Amino acid sequence: MFELTAEEKNKVQEAFDELMNGLPKSLIKADKDLIRKAFIFASKAHGTEKRKSGEPYILHPISVARIVSEEIGLRTRSIVSALLHDVVEDSEYTLDDIEKEFGSQIRAIIDGLTKITVVLDGDSSLQASTFRKLLLTLVDDVRVILIKLADRLHNMRTLQALPRKKQIKIASETLYLFAPLAHRLGLYTIKTELEDLSLKYKNPEVYTELANKINHSEKISSHFIHKFIEPVKAKLEEEKFRLEVYGRPKTIYSVWRKMQEKNVPFEQIYDILAVRIVFKPKARIPEITQCWHIYSTITQLYKAKTDRLRDWVSRPKANGYEALHATFMGPHGKWIEVQIRSERMNDIAEHGFAAHWKYKTGDSKEGELDRWLKGVSDMLKKQEAGDVEFLEDFKLNLFDAEMVTFTPKGKEIILPKNSSALDFAYEIHTEVGRKAIGAKINHKLLPLSTLLNTGDQVEILTSDIQSPQLEQLEFAKTAKAKSSIKDSFKEQRRKQIFRGQKTIEEQLKQLNYRPQASVFRKLFDEYRVNSKDDLYQILGRQEIPLEEIRQILRKRSKSKAIRFWDLQFFSSKKTEQLPIDSDSNASLVIQENPEGNEFRLARCCEPIPGDAVIGYRNDESSEIIIHKTTCPIASKLMTSQGDHIVAAKWTSHKIMAFLARLNMSGIDRLGIANDITNIISKELNVNIRSMNLDSHDGVFEATFDLYVHNTEDINNMILTLSKVKGVDSVKRMEKIEDS
């Protein structure tokens, strides 16, 4: 076996020296000796093993240990566990060997990490069936999941060494699960970096463009921020505050998400830069009082926007976050957000769950996290939920405690924002939720769908003859309510599926059709379902006449745009055609071909040539479904069925036409509709399928459905139409429904 080169050995030693130099000063010699022992043990176990990047593998556990120590703030046992986290998985050493050398506590942590590593970082997709194991370790010892988050962060930082398909899979898993989990545990810095890196690999063009724009905007805004900070800092220092005041730009992902949520361009995101004030508390004065004093001081200098005041010092978020957020009108007429925190609050904001133990006082501020962990434990005890559904329900539990409600006797019930009276009922007890028929909210009788507000006092009315209703899922918010309602319908669904399957088999036999993919594809399209079980349930729920099935199967496949493309798979190294699973570097290339029919475009996101896309191979219908990489449904598929995902791209596309929708608004004037349609039809040579223009109070709003070849057509159109006199906004709508 080859040894590491002298250069590689030096690199490893330098990395370990950096880890040791960054350790907390309070660690005693015995702690440092144990960390050094773990490094030697891990180095021997990993030997000459290399990562995909070609670097010695031991550099990875060293980097994870640095994140655990310097960025999360954990101490000796966690640092040792981080150094050893892959040893049992990748070498001949056993858990017994770990216990013999490092003790039972570190063995337990390594055991938890080993159980989940194969699933989360192996070649297969993230398996919901083993996600319960991860959560069991979370409830048992939260250090396991904190180290796992550090491991995922370093993997994301080094993701460039992996093939594109794996980059998309890992980035999707990270955005879908790990970033929200980091947020729920209060690890804000790690959460934001995971989000940014996920966007970087899922949509690199968008990431690069936004990074450049934010950097440019920060340079322009820094002058205004400095002008804002100067008098604030001077005034607070006059009042004997010891503090730091500095500007902090928004993350790339947070800006992108706000653009998506508000459907606006970058130029309309105004709060790119925020000001953070971190103060050293004065003795014998409550920190909350000092936060409000600082806020009051700033109001003497700048006008506050009161509807943007966020008080997370009186009642912290569920993940422990404490701060006072306020928005002020700064110099030159620009609104500036200010975050006010004590040093303790800032430490918790940066290091999350780990920092709570440092400041543990026994008061109620840790109660939210304790209650959340208990809720996770309760979910794990429920075996009725399917594994993928369990993963979905757990995602719903990753919320901030933004609402406090009360029972008639004054007991606090913590719920996510926009929760309903039904969620309140299930939070009290599952049986109360199942038997609920209405609610008295602040002594007024209201339906269970009523949304609650902070401070509401709620009494649930029940009946023994009541049972869960399917429509309740539409207004249930919490995981507990949703999972309980779903459980009630599972047996009913199973019966309907069995009945529907028997029905369709008999009908197809009478019509002399074989139960093959092309037959089911027509039925899927007609009844707007994506799986056989969903189709069977419809047929088991209602009587579908035989003649109706006959007519459906005789229909010719239709599409609202010309969508005949040929799917081919090419390796990055070769040009010959490849089977889908033959090469991890294979990419799906979508070419124009009037005879091609192996794929369809996803209805949920309606991609068109030029959009960043991925392919999902559906085993049931034997077809490839094309999704945008930004599509939420695609993110779920990449997380739960990543082995069915294929990297995809469009070739040149000048013949086929696709439907896109533009939304426009602006100031109404005589002839503006004529100007717009002339530009679209004559100047840009684009075919208009339909249009709707409404004018009121001097303002118009219009929607155009247009046939385009690619995103370049749309971008050119938006640029040209935005220059028309009176037009204020032009933007692409993301989904087109059949009309």
Active site residues: 89-90
- Give the C-alpha separation, 387 to 252, whole Å: 33
Using a 10 angstrom Cβ sphere, with 0-12 exposed, 13-18 middle and 19 or more buried, the burial of residue 150 is buried
CA trace torsion 717, 722, 727, 733 (10° rounding): 50
> Rounded to an integer, what distance in angstroms lies between the CA atom of residue 502 and that of residue 223?
72
558-595 exposure pattern, b = at least 16 Cβ within 10 A, e = fewer: eeebebebbbbbbeeeeeeebeeeebebbbbbbebeee
Asked if residues 498 and 487 have their Cβ atoms less than 8 Å apart, the reply is no
**Residue with token string 């992108």:** 256
Other C-beta atoms closer than 10 Å to the C-beta of 381 total: 6
Alpha-carbon distance values, 91 to 16, 44, 84, 211, 569 (Å): 21, 10, 11, 41, 36
> In whole angstroms, what is the distance from residue 302 CA to residue 327 CA?
10
Going by C-alpha positions, the residue among 217, 126, 279, 184 that lies closest to residue 645 is: 126
Distance CA 707, CA 712 (A): 13
Tokens representing residue 676 in the block: 């717009």
Max CA pair span of the chain: 90
Residue 702, Cβ density class (10 Å: 0-12 exposed, 13-18 middle, ≥19 buried): buried
| Residues in CB range of 735: below 8 A, 6 or more apart | 603, 604, 605, 606, 661
Q: How far is CA 59 from CA 41, 50, 56, 106, 158, in A?
A: 14, 9, 6, 20, 11
The whole-angstrom separation of Cα 71 and Cα 82 is: 13
Beta strands (DSSP E) in 421-578 are 436-441, 444-446, 458-462, 565-570
Q: Both tokens of residue 212?
A: 């450049």
Contact criterion met (CB below 8 Å) for 684 and 716: yes
The 3-state DSSP composition of the chain as helix, strand, coil percent (nearest 5) reads 50, 20, 30
Contact 118, 96 (CB under 8 A): no
Strand, coil or helix: 663: strand
Alpha helices (runs of H) in 103-203, residue ranges in sequence order: 104-121, 131-140, 142-157, 164-173, 179-184, 188-202
CA-to-CA distance for 702 and 700, rounded, in angstroms? 7
